[in-house]
Chain A
Amino acid sequence: MQPQLRILSSELVPQIIDEAFQLLVNPGIKVQLKEARTSLADAGARVEEEREVVQIPEEVARKALETVPHEFFLYNQDGEPSVHYGGDTVHFDPGSSGVNVLDAETMQHRPAITHDLIKVIKTADSLWQYDAQSTALVCSEIPKEIGDLYRLYLVLLFSKKPVITGAFSTKNTSVMIDMLAIFAGGRDALVQKPTAVFDVCPSPPLIWSQFGSQSLIDLARAGIPAQIVSMPLAGVAAPVTLLGSVVQHTAECISGMTIHQLAKPGSPIVWGGAPAIMDMRHGTTPMGAVETAMIDAAYAQVGKTFGFPTHSYMCASDAKVVDYQAGMESSTTAMIGALAGINMISGAGMLDFLACMSTEKLLIDAEAIGMAKRMLKGMQVHTDPLAADMYEGINFKGEFLKLRLTRQLFKEEQYLPSAVIDRGSIRTWQQMGATDTFTRAKTQLQDLLNTYQPPDLPLEQVAELQKLVSGLAKEAGMDQLPEF
């Protein structure tokens, strides 16, 4: 049995959904794209054109929600299904779109460059704990116009894992889909076996911007999975109460899914988010706060009531270095997300309110994820009786090590952490240089990067990708793509 956290009582869930449907009518949803308003109106919603406000009656939304697929798979570049969006399956991927990296030599936060992103991709590629890649960093030396697609370009060259990504402009969504299609064997093949999901954000409170609505419509039509990243910021861009924020999240997701399904019924879409409480002292949006994770667990439960695939932003920290706070916030939230059965949990590696990525942290977070995944396997019944037989011949001696069963089962029962986690004796620890977690992560990262094997990609397709991206780079004023 997979252990579960269900944070909402069975009375609260319908109340949240009911209030969310009420919000769709009063005050309604601001939809800033004309095309989306028109399609909502055609479906039976009331539109106040000048204010761009749409009132979506419950029946209209419910009808659209009926066609949302309850599960789908993401495929790796070898065409194997490797991520399951649906049920209580739990996956993790690194946080995305960081601007800075924590430079492990200088311990400074500095703008990310190509080399940093490649390191992150190789690391996430090598660690089994990460089921998918993200487009983790925006590279500062790359022209901004192609900053979003350049991230995907690097991921495609250095990893075969599926990608959680997103575009920064409507035009680039389409280019990024084309980039994925090169390796999938065309757009149709990509729709059959999608290798990526695209994040799409509503703007709190209750707004679907032009860009957001356009992305929903374009992705639906293209048949490429979309992932709603609704982020009520409790107390500033959403009600201060955790439950109030969950209601807003529900309304933003339902309205987004309605726009999406109206564009093309049956297109895959995920009930996701990156909410946060607002720190009232500093005006920041702490991802590591327990209340943030509580909102996540609660909205996931609401999404599950409808049967939708789910996503959230957890396993990130607001600390500036990889210290106790970083570990505490990342592992607590990772565990809460895992127990809530969230299908894709993004955020590992991140510091400083999602602004900064640390590859060393990504490596350490893999251990928190390993433990969370172990937790999910639950208390397994390997033997019947549970214990009695194992006392045979023991005779009050601590000799269970001699049992065949011990040898057979210990690896199933125990998650075996990497050397980043110190479980040696004090003497071993001293002999190994008396290191802390971060220092060990630095060493291990070096080993990992040294043994990393680049994926065997078909050269023709690599050439096609490079041609596409270097063409766009030229247009953006960059004569040559960086060598690596």
Chain B
Amino acid sequence: MTEQMYSAMAQSIIDGESEEAEKLAKQSIELGIDPLDAINQGFVLGVDHVGNLFSRGDAYLPELVMAGEAMKAAVNVLETEMTKQGTERKMLGSIVLGTIEGDIHDIGKTLVGTMLSVGGFKVFDLGVDVPILTLVEKARTETADIIAVSALLTTTMVKQRDVIEALDDIGLRSAIKVMVGGAPVTRDWAEEIGADGYSEDAVGAVAVAKELLVAKGL
């Protein structure tokens, strides 16, 4: 019975059916299934499946994004329940994300955000044109593990360095990792400015974020 439930959950994610996922999440609570089990043995398997297909070129962006949305819908329900029960879902880590000040390119950054949250991170997406201090301040108050900065213009890319310096200034450089990305950003640039991680695309960003956590010893 529970096994069937888990596989239905995974399937709802694979199908990108938010309403179905939400319904199953509610049912699982009524059935007394531990919300953490529902996530880890049910829904997450669906996400992993779609993620793997996407990496192989057998699934497409709309499927990936819809899977992410369905996952969010389910997790929303289950997290509310966990708060009630006084338990908490252990996320891989938390990430403050944004497109840097002066830059309004949104699409790539949002994709990165979707992939990171689908990949098990708690993501605070601050949007576009985000001032350096806002990024740093948010990371400090949320005790985030990583700041992820997207930049699409050669004019704004330079400010990725400022984020690192701002962290330095307030003495948090060692506590918070910085990863950078965006079309003009290269590995060389990331190294030059002393960023901790760089990814060329959204799928790669998840792997990089995981490596950064390992580097932090988490």
Are A283 and B202 CB-contacts (below 8 A) given A209-B104, A236-B107, A237-B107? Answer: yes
Closest to A112 in B: B154
| B155:A281 contact, CB within 8 angstroms | no
| B154:A283 contact, CB within 8 angstroms | no
Closest to B202 in A: A283
Chain-B contact segment, one of A7-15, A118-126, A137-145, A314-322? A137-145
Closest to A143 in B: B158
In the complex, what distance in Å separates the CA atom of A145 from the CA atom of B157?
12
| A283:B104 contact, CB within 8 angstroms | no
Closest to A354 in B: B183
| B60:A280 contact, CB within 8 angstroms | yes
| A203:B104 contact, CB within 8 angstroms | yes
Residues of A221-252 contacting chain B, CB below 8 A: 233, 235-237
Query: Chain A residues with Cβ under 8 A from B153's Cβ?
Result: 168
| B108:A144 contact, CB within 8 angstroms | no
Q: Does A355 contact B (CB under 8 A)?
A: yes
Q: B60, B102, B107, B154: which contacts A140 (Cβ < 8 A)?
A: B154
| B183:A144 contact, CB within 8 angstroms | no
| A281:B61 contact, CB within 8 angstroms | yes
Residues of A247-287 contacting chain B, CB below 8 A: 278, 280-283
Q: Does B57 contact A (CB under 8 A)?
A: yes
In the complex, what distance in Å separates the CA atom of A353 from the CA atom of B61?
18
Query: Chain B residues with Cβ under 8 A from A233's Cβ?
Result: 107
In the complex, what distance in Å separates the CA atom of A282 from the CA atom of B106?
16
Q: Does A457 contact B (CB under 8 A)?
A: no
Q: Does B201 contact A (CB under 8 A)?
A: yes
| B57:A283 contact, CB within 8 angstroms | no
Query: Chain B residues with Cβ under 8 A from A209's Cβ?
Result: 104
In the complex, what distance in Å separates the CA atom of A60 from the CA atom of B17?
42
| B60:A147 contact, CB within 8 angstroms | no
| B155:A147 contact, CB within 8 angstroms | yes
Q: Does A182 contact B (CB under 8 A)?
A: no
| B155:A144 contact, CB within 8 angstroms | yes
| B108:A283 contact, CB within 8 angstroms | yes
Residues of B22-68 contacting chain A, CB below 8 A: 57, 60-62
| B154:A138 contact, CB within 8 angstroms | yes
Cβ of B163 to closest chain A Cβ, rounded Å: 16
Cβ of B51 to closest chain A Cβ, rounded Å: 14
Most buried by B among A147, A148, A235, A281: A281
| A281:B154 contact, CB within 8 angstroms | no
Query: Chain B residues with Cβ under 8 A from A140's Cβ?
Result: 154
| B202:A235 contact, CB within 8 angstroms | no
In the complex, what distance in Å separates the CA atom of A211 from the CA atom of B153?
14
Residues of B146-169 contacting chain A, CB below 8 A: 153-158
Closest to B63 in A: A280
In the complex, what distance in Å separates the CA atom of A452 from the CA atom of B64?
52
Query: Chain A residues with Cβ under 8 A from B57's Cβ?
Result: 281
Residue-wise interface mask of A (365-383) relative to B, using a CB-CB cutoff of 8 A (1 in contact, 0 not): 0000000000000000000
Q: Does B194 contact A (CB under 8 A)?
A: no
| B62:A235 contact, CB within 8 angstroms | yes
In the complex, what distance in Å separates the CA atom of A235 from the CA atom of B62?
8
In the complex, what distance in Å separates the CA atom of A281 from the CA atom of B201?
12
Query: Chain A residues with Cβ under 8 A from B183's Cβ?
Result: 99, 353, 355
In the complex, what distance in Å separates the CA atom of A148 from the CA atom of B158?
15
Are A99 and B184 CB-contacts (below 8 A) given A144-B155, A280-B62, A281-B61? Answer: yes
Residue-wise interface mask of B (86-112) relative to A, using a CB-CB cutoff of 8 A (1 in contact, 0 not): 000000000000000010101110010
Q: B61, B158, B201: which contacts A144 (Cβ < 8 A)?
A: B158
In the complex, what distance in Å separates the CA atom of A140 from the CA atom of B60?
34
Residues of B184-202 contacting chain A, CB below 8 A: 184, 201-202
Closest to A279 in B: B61
Are A168 and B107 CB-contacts (below 8 A) given A280-B62, A281-B61, A355-B183? Answer: no
| A99:B104 contact, CB within 8 angstroms | no
Closest to B59 in A: A281
In the complex, what distance in Å separates the CA atom of A140 from the CA atom of B188?
13
Query: Chain B residues with Cβ under 8 A from A355's Cβ?
Result: 183-184
Query: Chain A residues with Cβ under 8 A from B61's Cβ?
Result: 235-236, 278, 280-281, 283
In the complex, what distance in Å separates the CA atom of A168 from the CA atom of B57?
36
Query: Chain B residues with Cβ under 8 A from A237's Cβ?
Result: 106-107
| B111:A283 contact, CB within 8 angstroms | yes
In the complex, what distance in Å separates the CA atom of A280 from the CA atom of B158?
30
Most buried by B among A148, A209, A283, A355: A283
Query: Chain A residues with Cβ under 8 A from B104's Cβ?
Result: 203, 209, 211
In the complex, what distance in Å separates the CA atom of A99 from the CA atom of B104?
18
Most buried by B among A99, A211, A353: A99
Query: Chain A residues with Cβ under 8 A from B202's Cβ?
Result: 283
In the complex, what distance in Å separates the CA atom of A148 from the CA atom of B153?
11
Residue-wise interface mask of B (102-142) relative to A, using a CB-CB cutoff of 8 A (1 in contact, 0 not): 10101110010000000000000000000000000000000
Cβ of A282 to closest chain B Cβ, rounded Å: 8
Measured CB to CB, the residues of A under 8 A from B are 99, 138, 140, 144-145, 147-148, 168-169, 203, 209, 211, 233, 235-237, 278, 280-283, 353, 355
Apart from A211-B104, A235-B62, A282-B201, what are 6 other A-B pairs with CB-CB below 8 Å? A148-B155, A209-B104, A233-B107, A281-B57, A283-B111, A353-B183
25 intermolecular pairs with C-beta atoms under 8 Å apart? A99-B154, A99-B184, A140-B154, A144-B154, A144-B155, A144-B158, A145-B155, A169-B102, A203-B104, A203-B106, A209-B104, A211-B104, A235-B61, A235-B62, A236-B107, A237-B107, A278-B61, A280-B61, A281-B61, A282-B201, A283-B61, A283-B108, A283-B111, A283-B201, A355-B184
Q: Which 7 A-B pairs have the closest CB atoms?
A: A280-B60, A144-B155, A280-B61, A99-B184, A138-B154, A168-B155, A144-B158
